[in-house]
Amino acid sequence: MTVVVAVVGPTATGKSDLGLALAERLGGEVVNADALQLYRGLDIGTAKLPVAERRGVPHHLLDVLDPDEDATVAAYQRDARAALADIAARGRRAVAVGGSGLYVRSLLDHMEFPGTDPDVRAALEARVEAEGARALHAELEAADPVAAGNIGPRNARRIVRALEVIALTGRPYSANLPSHDYEVPAVQIGLDCDRAVLDERVQARVDRMWAAGLVDEVRGLLGRGIGRTASRAVGYAEVLAALRGEITEEEARDQVVAGTRRLARKQMGWFGRDPRVHWLDARDPELVDRALALVAAADAGTLGLATDDPAPRRSLGS
């Protein structure tokens, strides 16, 4: 299989623009690796690239779920790898774009998915309702500190899944996470950005979302039905709270900015731990050419680990 190009990193760094430019230059097609962009109708709040702005480049794994469905990494892996095979069979290059770390890893690395047990999951979900997600997160931390470190204390769905796997397998949930070994030949290009600049970009993005009608988008979703995954996403959870009258719209807007900034730091932490990600400055005027050079080196088999890069990434926290 031709080397897959993956454009990764924090939100608001310009991954969609770079992915589109690389697909154009490489004769490629984009494969979405953002969990929320799988959903139909979640457009403004996910910064989904409108069809009119895709410049004729085919995009895969966008708008494949209804808002009341729950996305799963296992289903994404199945469908996204089928898309890779289809793209390769037509002699095209796949360019995966997204900031959902586990989805990127499931696409590129060896990753298996333990089964489920409805009774175990239901019991854990009932405990979340009764005790709160933080209580179960503390339990996960005691059983599997590595998994707890990768899962936020408010992410009830992933906490439940981790505890379910531990209960079913008797092994740490983290034992099922992928190692840093490609199952799909790939080069990962990460976009980095100074914290102050990224904070400004996040603010500007939220301002654009509000101007584009995010509140109306969320109001429309209420009429269609919105599931647990979509309703808890940054941007959607806050607007839903405002529509329920729990907070003001201005408070919702401020919370979306703060939540998006936290998300960006979490994404940098996830991708920053992967030594295979080659980091580029999102503001570099030669960004596309530098990215193409990385792809060329990967194609030639001369690209080493990112730790060998002459200009390693800055920390997002700097």
Binding residues: 9-16
Q: What is the 3-state secondary structure (H, E, C) of the chain?
A: CCCEEEEECCCCCCHHHHHHHHHHHHCEEEEECCHHHHECCCCCCCCCCCHHHCCCCCEECCCCECCCCCCCHHHHHHHHHHHHHHHHHCCCEEEEECCCHHHHHHHHECCCCCCCCHHHHHHHHHHHHHHCHHHHHHHHHHHCHHHHHHCCCCCHHHHHHHHHHHHHHCCCHHHHCCCCCECCCEEEEEEECCHHHHHHHHHHHHHHHHHHCHHHHHHHHHHHCCCHHHHCCCCHHHHHHHHCCCCCHHHHHHHHHHHHHHHHHHHHHHHHCCCCEEEEECCCCCHHHHHHHHHHHHHHCCCCCHHHCCCCCCCCCC
**What are φ and ψ of residue 225, in 5° steps?**
100, 130
CB-based contact 47:256 (threshold 8 Å)? no
Alpha carbon distance 191, 239 (integer Å): 28
Binding-site positions for ATP: 9-16
Binding-site positions for substrate: 11-16
Distant-in-sequence, close-in-space partners of 50: CB < 8 Å, separation ≥ 6: 43
CB-based contact 96:4 (threshold 8 Å)? yes
